[in-house]
Amino acid sequence: MGSLGYKSAMVDLSHHINAKSKARHPSPLKDIIKFMGYDGMVSFAGGLPHPSLFPLDQAKFECLSPAASLTADRHSDGQNKDDVLGLTFGRGSSIGDLDLTQFLQYGSGAGNRQLLDLAKELTERVHSPPYEYECLLHPGNTNAWAKVVGLLCEDDDYILVEEFTYPSAQALWIPLGVKAVPVAADAAGMMAKNLRNILMHWDERDRGARRPRVLYLVSVGSNPTGITISKERRREIYDICVEFDIIIVEDDPYYFLQYPSYGSSVETSSIPKPIPEFLNTLVPTFLSMDTQGRVIRLDSFSKTLFPGLRLGYFVAHPVFTERLLRATEVETQDPAGLSQAFVLGLLRKWGVDGYLTWLQNLQLQYRTRRDWLLDAFHAHFDIVPAEKSPVPQAQGLVACIKSAHDGQVKQPVFSFVDPGAGMFVWCKFYFDGVERFMQIEGAANNRDPEQDFANELWQAWATELVLLTPGSYYHAWQGPEKMTTSARGADPRTAHFRFSFATPTNEEINSGVERLAKVIGRYWG
């Protein structure tokens, strides 16, 4: 790990590695491995089972080609022949597209070398990071994040997160006594000035913990908010992270699911675009602007191929990947072999260009679904721009009760930002003036009327056979004393719900929003 050949002068970031991670030692067995390759060596040193005794000789996969026509109701048996592509993996190098044997055996922890090379090629192509990074396979972003917490966080630390954040990421660190420091966002993502304020005025005594060192972000199509951090905002956030020595963990499963805005004139018929043109439409990642190696990027095939693979990869500074590899050796070992073989075989057959074509194909599918949901919003509500709405502090668009006559004062129900990526629309509901809410709020001993009314609303929707995810699931965890709407400092008389548009059909979406509007009509009157 000399300094020669580095694309950019890296700063020393090793002080970010926590005490437990520092205490990991490489397995002494590694010393032996280099001898094993000697010609004529008889090794009694390995502990591996004999590959001739693995009861799998051949695997064949029938896959889609990158530009296959996708429809929600497609059936594999009715698939157009041009859309289908076969992969055959045998035992031995001469059989099929890939020698399966190595994937059936124990691996080294880092993952298959050729798959890592492909991950690097893809990383160069898409992000072209300005420093000398390394890639390391992992079994999905859930585990990757667990390993990063194990690498960077001490017990009782604070972690910087978006105001509304992914609950499983939090659930991992809550038992460590770690708390979130939520940073407010607007439609362009986390607000850099708020981030800076928090860091500048951090009071160790008051907070009872050192200044945060980790910023966790789902920076494209965030779950739950659907927000993508803009290029300019990213630049500002990165600079603040340099100033305050913060490591950015870029958990980015939705990166390739970025869409033109709803109702825009961008033609779907121009798909697939030439690859460079496609890549140009994507917001630059934090990794792509990282001159210091302080971004740890979590990449995953869960949303782009399928989640059951449990396969993705870290892109990070070698000082971090080396420690992550030590953790991998004792915590998980290599990701599953059939997953590695499948992805390597598929990406080789498709080529990196083919994969990037597939991603455009996928992008169009999810964009269409996003449009279905927003179409339904327009069909069942009056949609007005926030600044022209009765809630001028709202962002994006406001859905109001559909009025019979133009010119009538519109009654706002919820605001939302057209999600430029991902699978979610995040809606902020306004309860002010809703009779039932005012009743709950007026009752004695009411700890959290917003949450109580949100629960009632959720139940009323479920009774009408439509399910949303309550926004409370995504509140940044600031400790048990900061759970109510007022204690969190959230806007009074509001609450959030998350819509996912990934799964239902157009018809389901439309009738779901219709049912929703019916219940809303009852409450908003």
State which of positions 129-148 bind its own copies (CB under 8 A): 139-140, 142-143, 146
Q: Does 447 bind its own copies (CB under 8 A)?
A: no
Q: Which stretch binds its own copies (CB under 8 A): 100-108, 290-298, 401-409, 487-495?
A: 100-108
Cα 218 to Cα 227, 285, 435: the distances in Å are: 9, 11, 37
Q: How far is the CB of 514 from its own copies (least distance, A)?
A: 9
* Residue among 216 and 424 whose Cβ is closer to its own copies: 424
Q: How far is the CB of 70 from its own copies (least distance, A)?
A: 6
* Residue among 182 and 335 whose Cβ is closer to its own copies: 335
Q: How far is the CB of 48 from its own copies (least distance, A)?
A: 6
Q: How far is the CB of 161 from its own copies (least distance, A)?
A: 15
- With contact defined as beta carbons under 8 Å apart, do 109 and 329 qualify? yes
Binders in 203-242 for its own copies, by CB under 8 A: 223
Q: How far apart are CA 409 and CA 404, in angstroms?
A: 11
- With contact defined as beta carbons under 8 Å apart, do 216 and 159 qualify? yes
Q: Does 72 bind its own copies (CB under 8 A)?
A: yes
Binders in 251-310 for its own copies, by CB under 8 A: 302-303, 305-310
Q: Does 98 bind its own copies (CB under 8 A)?
A: no
Q: How far apart are CA 341 and CA 336, in angstroms?
A: 9
Binders in 402-431 for its own copies, by CB under 8 A: 423-424
Q: How far apart are CA 210 and CA 18, in angstroms?
A: 13
Q: How far is the CB of 22 from its own copies (least distance, A)?
A: 8
Q: What are phi and psi of 362, to 5 degrees?
A: -65, -45
Among 1, 5, 73, 405, binds its own copies (CB under 8 A): 73
Q: How far apart are CA 458 and CA 467, in angstroms?
A: 7
Q: How far apart are CA 453 and CA 214, in angstroms?
A: 35
- With contact defined as beta carbons under 8 Å apart, do 464 and 518 qualify? yes
Among 10, 16, 59, 316, binds its own copies (CB under 8 A): 59
Cα 171 to Cα 146, 187, 474, 479: the distances in Å are: 10, 26, 11, 12
Q: Does 104 bind its own copies (CB under 8 A)?
A: yes
CA 478 from centroid of its chain's CA atoms: 21
Binders in 377-406 for its own copies, by CB under 8 A: none
Q: Are strands 397-400 and 382-385 parallel, antiparallel or unpaired?
A: antiparallel
Cα 416 to Cα 309, 363, 494: the distances in Å are: 33, 21, 13
Among 8, 9, 14, 49, binds its own copies (CB under 8 A): 49
Q: Does 502 bind its own copies (CB under 8 A)?
A: yes
Among 52, 265, 269, 445, binds its own copies (CB under 8 A): 52
Binders in 5-44 for its own copies, by CB under 8 A: 19-25, 27-29, 32, 35-36, 38, 40-44
* Residue among 175 and 407 whose Cβ is closer to its own copies: 175
- Tell me, what amino acid is at 440? I
